[in-house]
A and B are shown apart, each in its own frame.
Chain A
């Protein structure tokens, strides 16, 4: 395509002087500008990794002092850090499983069946995604913490104690819409004739689903699950409202940075980054091989 574009422009009469200068500048300016923008996007990550090798002079890892691998040798060595990481992983795993299951079912219903209210639901399902996270978290807090509003008037300080389970409830809630949208995108190009063929060959609906439908939508379900996991493990704003005294990794980071900025934060951040990059690189390489 690119070569076709150049050959046409060569065949055309040259434009005005300004046009030619514009073209010359455009050819150079765009890649330079893009490189600078990419640098802007990557520099905090570079800072994060570089400062994971710092030995801060005080409690705050804000200025470079001297090179050290202490943080990498003791990545969990800070009170509260291992527990918060474990809680984050637990919430993310459970929320991913539940949200992926519930969201996939909604996605199936929305794409494969005609029912009353489908059009409405197709729009409404975007609402949780369009609501500011702050509002999602705050409104859940008003549900859990109680509520002296009628009919619950009275001295009920907490209707439902905030903690691990309320974080899980919140994470499932905000993940469902993302799962539905991802699964729907995969189902959009789905060829129903494959299912009909299976039924014609004598398979019942249950067998057809597991042998034909499910394998075909599996990539979409996996993508949705990965997205849900990533959103869940990184969530701070919503979690900060419903966590109570339970720490997750982001909550722990936020609470500690008033008093200290341990190098371990950079180490864990770098590990998460490297694992994610490694995973994506591996799957990309594998799918490139599979295509060949």
Chain B
């Protein structure tokens, strides 16, 4: 073993090198992460407690001005992020659970093919997929066009693009595979004999599902929710391409403040509120689902 944990009386050169090996392996990658992840994060924090502008220079004043301004001014956009991201997460659970269940328990020899189709969207660009949704939901697009003119159940003025429905549809679509995959992994691990045992003990199918399958799948629901909610709540592309100025999410504000208005303090404060909001939500959610006890 290259590692030396006990205290050797006189460590030779070889042992010293051996002890240094893990640190040497870590050094370049960790240095990169410190330089380009940790330091920028710290700098963001410093900006968030600063005042001033890019032209006049920022002053590190350690005041919460930017946070106060961010919360009071952009309540609507925070609400939108929470609402759209939350709705999309719930929808991915509702759509994804039956799909993952079918693949895990009923997939048979088509299992890999269905899984392949679930990840197929990853084989094309995120932006192009969203543009495809814009085509699809367009006023005269493949979906609304026939409904308006050929079938005629919708009035000619009916529109989807620019509405919250379109934004949520896009978010749900873009992040659905991130829900299905962890759900599938969790369900696939379940020992079928446990479900059979419940049924042998006269549990109804629903009872066995609710008391056995569902609790065992909860870690998957948890992992999937995190994988969907974090990018969905921080997203600005769907709201930009499929929405309207009324459907702006907090991501749109942050992007705009950073890239166009150069208002770094407020943008940085908003980023931190978003990040800690997500962190708090995840913690509460973990308590609520009792995942620690389950995965324990």
Compute how far the CA of A105 lies from the CA of B47 in the bound complex, rounded to whole angstroms. Answer: 33
A-side contacts of B5, CB under 8 Å: 114
Interchain residue pairs A-B with the least CB separation, the first 7: A132-B234, A44-B132, A102-B29, A139-B40, A113-B22, A276-B123, A148-B57
Q: Is the interface of B mostly helix, strand, loop or mixed?
A: helix
Q: Nearest Cβ in chain B — how far from A229, in angstroms? A: 12
Inter-chain pairs besides A48-B131, A139-B44, 5 sampled, C-beta below 8 Å? A38-B99, A109-B23, A132-B230, A132-B274, A236-B127
* B279 CB, nearest partner CB in chain A, Å: 8
- Which residues of chain B come closer than 8 Å to A265, judged between CB atoms? 128, 131
Residues of B within 8 A of A138 (CB): 44, 254-255, 258, 267-268, 271
Chain A CB within 8 A of B158 CB: no
Count contacts between A and B, CB distance < 8 Å.
267
Give 23 CB contacts A-B under 8 Å. Answer: A4-B196, A9-B196, A15-B204, A33-B102, A37-B99, A41-B176, A44-B173, A47-B142, A103-B29, A105-B28, A105-B29, A109-B25, A109-B26, A138-B254, A140-B40, A173-B32, A173-B33, A176-B29, A234-B125, A250-B125, A272-B123, A276-B123, A280-B116
Stretch at the interface among B70-78, B133-141, B147-155, B214-222: B133-141
Judge whether A30 and B29 touch: CB under 8 Å: no
Q: Which residues of B contact A4 (CB under 8 A)?
A: 192, 196
A225 at the interface (CB under 8 A from B): no
B235-257 interface mask toward A, CB cutoff 8 Å, 1 = contact, 0 = none? 11100010000000001001100
- Complex CA–CA separation, A1 to B41 (angstroms): 50
CB-defined contacts of B43 to chain A, threshold 8 Å? 139, 142-143, 147, 149
Give the size category of A's interface with B: 35 or more
Q: Which residues of B contact A103 (CB under 8 A)?
A: 29
Confirm or deny: A214 has a beta carbon within 8 angstroms of a beta carbon on chain B: no
User: Which residues between 25 and 45 of chain B lie within 8 Å of chain A, taking CB atoms?
Assistant: 25-26, 28-30, 32-33, 36-37, 39-41, 43-44
**CA gap between A270 and B132 in the complex, in Å:** 12
Interface string of A47-69 (1 = CB under 8 A from B): 11001000000000111100000
Residue of A nearest to B43 (CB): A142
B36, B103, B106, B141: the one within 8 Å of A62 (CB): B141
Q: Which of B255-278 contact A (CB under 8 A)?
A: 255, 258-259, 264, 267-268, 271, 274-275, 278
- B37-A16 in contact (CB<8A): no
Contact status A34-B128, CB under 8 Å = no
CB distance from B244 to the nearest CB of A (A): 15
A133-B234 in contact (CB<8A): yes
Is A219 in the interface zone, CB < 8 Å from B?
Answer: no
Known: A106-B30, A250-B126. A140 touches B36 (CB 8 A): yes
The distance from the CB of B183 to the nearest CB of chain A, in whole angstroms, is: 12
With a 10 A CB-CB cut-off, give which of A23, A101, A170, A237 has the most chain B CB atoms. A237
Across the interface, do A135 and B25 meet the contact criterion of CB distance under 8 Å?
no
Q: Confirm or deny: A161 has a beta carbon within 8 angstroms of a beta carbon on chain B.
A: no
Say whether B60 contacts A150, CB under 8 Å.
yes
Cβ distance B188 to chain A, nearest Cβ, rounded Å: 11
Q: Is A290 engaged at the interface, CB distance under 8 Å to the other chain? A: no
A51 and B132 CA atoms in complex are apart in Å by: 9
Tell yes or no: A108 within 8 A of B by CB.
yes
Residues in A whose Cβ lies below 8 Å from that of B121? 41-42, 44-45
A101-136 vs B, CB cutoff 8 Å, 1 = contact: the mask equals 111011011001111000001000001101111111
A34, B60: Cβ atoms under 8 Å?
no
Chain B contacts of A257 at CB under 8 A? Answer: 131, 241
Instruction: List chain B residues, Cβ under 8 A from A121.
Output: 26, 30
Q: Which residue on chain A has the smallest CB distance to residue B126?
A: A234
A286 within 8 Å of B (CB atoms): no
- Judge if B69 is at the interface, Cβ distance under 8 Å: no
Q: Is the interface of A mostly helix, strand, loop or mixed?
A: helix
Instruction: Establish whether residues B173 and A47, one from each chain, have CB atoms under 8 Å apart when the complex forms.
Output: no
Q: A78 within 8 Å of B by Cβ?
A: no
Complex alpha-carbon distance, A148 and B57, angstroms: 5
The reply to whether B278 and A62 contact each other, CB–CB distance below 8 Å, is no
Q: Which residue of B lies closest to A30 (CB)?
A: B102
Does the CB pair B44–A142 fall under 8 Å? Answer: yes
Chain B proximity of A106: nearest CB distance (Å): 4
- Nearest A residue to B2 via CB reads A113
B224 in contact (CB, < 8 A):
no
**B114 CB–A CB distance under 8 Å:** yes
Smallest beta-carbon distance B117→chain A, Å: 5
- Asked if B196 and A8 sit within 8 Å, CB to CB, the answer is yes
The docked-state distance in angstroms from the alpha carbon of A103 to that of B101 is: 34
> Are B140 and A115 in contact (CB-based, < 8 A)?
no
Residues of B within 8 A of A154 (CB): 57
**Using Cβ atoms and an 8 Å threshold, which residues of chain B touch A45?**
120-121, 124, 129, 132
Taking the complex as formed, is B286 at the interface, i.e. its CB lies under 8 A from any CB of chain A? Answer: no
Instruction: Give the complex CA separation of A7 and B267 in angstroms.
Output: 61
